[in-house]
Each structure stands twice: as C-alpha cells, then as structure tokens.
Amino acid sequence: MLESLYKYAAPQNFYQLSRRLTPWLAGAAALLLLAGLAGALWFAPPDYQQGESFRIIYVHVPSAWMSLFVYVVLAAAGITGLVWKVKVADALARASAPIGAAFTFLALATGSLWGKPMWGAWWVWDARLTSELILLFLYVGYIALQGAIEDRRMAARAGAVLAVIGLINIPIIHYSVEWWSTLHQGPTVTRFDAPAIHISMLIPLLIMALGFKLYYAANVLVRMRCELLEAERNSAWVRQLGS
C-alpha cells in the first residue's frame, strides 16, 4: 500500500494519475453542487427568524469550512516538501493557495451580505471575522512570497515556514465564538450533542460542503499539473509529453 502511494510521489506518475481523476472529480462536484443548490433554494424551508436570508449559508458555510481545510492541506504539504523534499507536495501547496484565498474571500463576502440585514452592518470587527480576514492575508502573503522568490525550492521552504506559523490562526478561527463574546453565531452543524439545524436544511448544506470539497480536489489537480510542468519543464518526461 505504502509502496503504491510512494510511486505517485514521482511527478510523472502523479501527473498521469491526476489526468485520469480530474474528469471524475469535476463531474461529481458539478452534480453535488447542482443537487445542493436545488435543495437549498427550493426544498429547504425558510428560517423562522431569518426568513429567506438564511439561504446564503449554503455558500457561506462551505466556503468558510474550505478556507480552513485548504490552509491545513497547504501547511501539511509544505511540511512534507520541506522535510522529505517531495516535489508533488510543493506543487500541492502552491496550487492550493489561490483556491484557499478564493474560498476565504467568498466566505468573507457572503458573510458581509448576510451581516447587513442581520446585524445592520456590512462589517464588524468581530473575533471570527477578524481572524478569517487574517487567514486571507496569510494566503495572499504565501502567494506573494512564491512570486517574489525565483528559486522554486527556496520559495517552497519559505512558504512552508510561513504556512506553519499561520497554523496558529486555525484554532483561533474555529473557537473564536466560544473564547470571546462575538456577534457571530455559535456552532450549529458541528455541535457534539445534535446539530441545531433541521434535517431539511442540514442535508443540502452537507451536499454543498461535499461538492465544494470535490471542486477543490478537481481544481487543485489541474493547477498541480501546471505547477509540475513548470517545475519539471527540462525533464525528459515533460519533453516526451510535448513530442
């Protein structure tokens, strides 16, 4: 098992595997997102307090979850590349950063759209919102660092260090509503006793969350192939692809 996985640490093997997986992941993501949106817009009832405004959670919540998930993946890939010098891991970190930044921006933007009718303001310096904004800055800083350093190995090392330092922000984001008195509502889906959301609203949300994850998987594989081709452009297997 480990030997088969280790085989795909080689860029040429991973490149071929990703080409086979991407269409399936993209197709599954599209189906799940369509099903989730249908459930969110037509089958889920209006919230008894927020009315129709609550439906923005079907984009906001998966985006917020993915902003944290992608950063953890980025940091783990950075550590893997730093310690074991795996080029595929470096490609995963570089490819994940723009996607994670997009998810974070989407979470902040949709949160603002929800906050205006609910809180009466587009933005407040709430602990959850502020820590999520810091996460966006971490993503942007990582992307800028990769672009500023020409040597890809040196850029990968510097990015890994930045990503590891930024990991401290992940539990702060997650527990901010419990550690501080904030306007942001507490956990509903991830409560240990029972989700504080009706099943008719919960199912479309979980479908959307899975769709977002598969979308990330398909997107990151495409971006990783581009990263690997750039990093390995002088290798024999890349020249063979172009022949």
Tokens of 159: 């990015």
For 25-36, letters b (16+ CB in 10 Å) and e give bbebbeebbebb
Is residue 2 pLDDT above 80, yes or no? no
Average pLDDT over residues 179-207: 74
**Model confidence band, residue 186 (pLDDT cutoffs 50, 70, 90):** low
Considering only CA atoms, which of 65, 70, 241, 55 is closest in space to residue 163? Answer: 70
Rounded to two decimals, what is the model's pTM?
0.93
User: What are the structural domain ranges in the chain?
Assistant: 59-230
Is residue 190 pLDDT above 60, yes or no? no
Is residue 91 pLDDT above 60, yes or no? yes
Is residue 4 pLDDT above 90, yes or no? no
